[in-house]
């Protein structure tokens, strides 16, 4: 005899009882006959016309460095003012208020940055997304890189820390 069955009980009846003895007959399934499409579209997605240009390796290195610095601010190992060269002022202000708020997940340990991906949105903006871990838990980060007006560099113009 299986020991697992000895501990299981029958599930409760969740449906109301049938009224009368007559049960409705199941209706037979309709067979669908495929018809010829009347449009030239055959249902498959259209082929992409051209590939978007891949972001350069410098943008990827900047994104990793910026997110690592953000995690250091959240862990109170760095002050938000030290990120003025990397983040927009609105992002710094938000980061300052978030780092001042007590968060229960900080008790899990230091934040370790995981894989970071970037994707070009248009000619001037790049989307950044990645993960970080605290103890056994995995959290997400996302943001946007915009061109720095001073000479071809990047700045984090928006940031979401989950």
pLDDT at position 150, please? 79
All domains of the chain in start order, with CATH? 57-161 (3.10.450)
pLDDT at position 151 is 76
Torsion on CA atoms 91, 88, 68, 51, rounded to nearest 10: 110
**pLDDT by position in tens, the chain (length 162):** 555 556 667 777 777 766 766 655 666 666 666 666 666 666 665 555 445 566 788 899 999 999 999 999 999 999 999 999 999 999 999 999 988 888 888 889 999 999 999 999 998 899 999 999 999 999 999 999 999 887 778 999 999 998
Distance (Å, rounded) from C-alpha 119 to C-alpha 88? 20
Q: DSSP letters along 84-99, please? A: TTTB-HHHHHHHHHHH
Give the per-residue pLDDT at 39. 64
Q: How far apart are CA 98 and CA 130, in angstroms?
A: 19
Q: Render 1-17 in DSSP notation, one character per residue.
A: --HHHHT--PPPP-SPP
The per-residue pLDDT for 123 is: 85
């Amino acid at each position: 005899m299986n020991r697992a069955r000895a501990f299981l009980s029958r599930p409760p009846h969740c449906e109301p009882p049938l009224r009368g003895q007559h049960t409705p007959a199941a209706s037979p399934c309709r067979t669908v006959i495929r018809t010829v499409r009347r449009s030239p579209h055959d249902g498959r997605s259209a082929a992409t016309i051209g590939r978007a240009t891949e972001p350069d390796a410098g943008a990827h290195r900047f994104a990793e460095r910026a997110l690592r610095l953000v995690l250091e601010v959240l862990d109170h190992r760095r002050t938000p003012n030290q990120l003025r060269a990397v983040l927009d002022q609105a992002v710094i202000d938000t980061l300052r208020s978030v780092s001042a708020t007590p968060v229960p997940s900080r008790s899990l340990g230091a934040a370790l940055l995981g894989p970071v991906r970037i994707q070009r949105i248009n000619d001037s903006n790049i989307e950044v997304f990645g993960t970080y871990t605290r103890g056994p838990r995995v959290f997400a980060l996302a943001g946007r890189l915009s061109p720095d007006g001073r000479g071809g560099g990047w700045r984090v113009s928006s940031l979401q820390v989950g």
